[in-house]
Amino acid sequence: MARILIVDDDEALATLMDKALRAEGYEVRRARDGPAGLKLLEEQPADLVLLDVRLPGMSGLEVLRQIREQHPRTLVLVITGYSSLPVALEAVEGGAVGYLTKPFKMADLRDRVNKTLGRSGGGGGIVVKVR
């Protein structure tokens, strides 16, 4: 079963994502900021990281850089703030496989995660959603 790490300081949104993905059968862990997320990855690697770019302390882009450096096999989907397309594009250039723009539907989230992890016959293609 694929392992997913959610790094987001929005407790409510993280809880919803956690529940939605668990319902899909994924093993989900959560961290509230960059250092905590990196520590969890040290302890046990993950297949996918859902990373909010707007984080307290260390910026999401910096966390992304460190994940790509230390865990090259881990895929990263960034969750960008509202209407911040430039940051999203920067994240994709920095090695993220794609981005989700808030607000998003949980159905969209499940869809994206499944496709990214190569499930439900989506062929694993990276879909970049532009709002």
Partner 1 sequence: MRFRPSVRIQIAAVITLLMVVPVIVMAYDILFASRSDDVLLAEMEERLTGLVNYVAAEIVAQFKDPETGVRGRQGDPAVLAEVFRGVAGPVAQSHPGVRVGLYCVGSESILIEGYLHITGRLPEAREQRERRILEEARAGIKAVLETGSPITRVGQTYDDRFLEYLVPLRVDGELVAVLWADHRIHPVFAQSTRMRLLVRYVALAAVVLAAAGTAWATNHWWRRVEIIKAGLARLGRNLESRVPDLPGELGEITRSINEMAERLLERERLIEELRKSEYLAALGRLVSEIAHELRAPMGVVRAAAEMAAEQMDPAARARVAEYLDLIEQQATRHERLIGSLLDFGKPGAAWESVALNKLLNEVLGATKPLLERYGITLFYEPDPDLPAVRGDREKLKQVFLNLVLNAVEAMGSGGQLTLRTFPDDGSACVLVADTGVGIAPEDLPHIFKPYYTRKAGGSGLGLAISEEVVRVHGGVIRVCSRPGGGTTFTVCLPTLRKGEDGADGTHSDC
Contacts with partner 1 by CB under 8 A lie at: 10, 12-13, 16, 19-20, 81-83, 102-107
Report helix, strand or coil for 88. helix
Q: Which is nearer to partner 1, 22 or 39 (CB)?
A: 22
Cis ω for the linkage preceding 35 (within 30 of 0): no
Q: Which is nearer to partner 1, 44 or 83 (CB)?
A: 83
Least Å distance, CB 40 to partner 1, is 23
Place of tokens 């460190």: 66
Q: Which is nearer to partner 1, 69 or 82 (CB)?
A: 82
Q: Which is nearer to partner 1, 73 or 105 (CB)?
A: 105
Q: Which two tokens stand for residue 99?
A: 């981005």
Least Å distance, CB 54 to partner 1, is 8
Least Å distance, CB 70 to partner 1, is 29
Least Å distance, CB 33 to partner 1, is 16
Calpha distance 22→85 (Å, rounded): 29
* Cα separations in angstroms, 97 against 11, 15, 21, 56, 81: 24, 23, 18, 23, 17
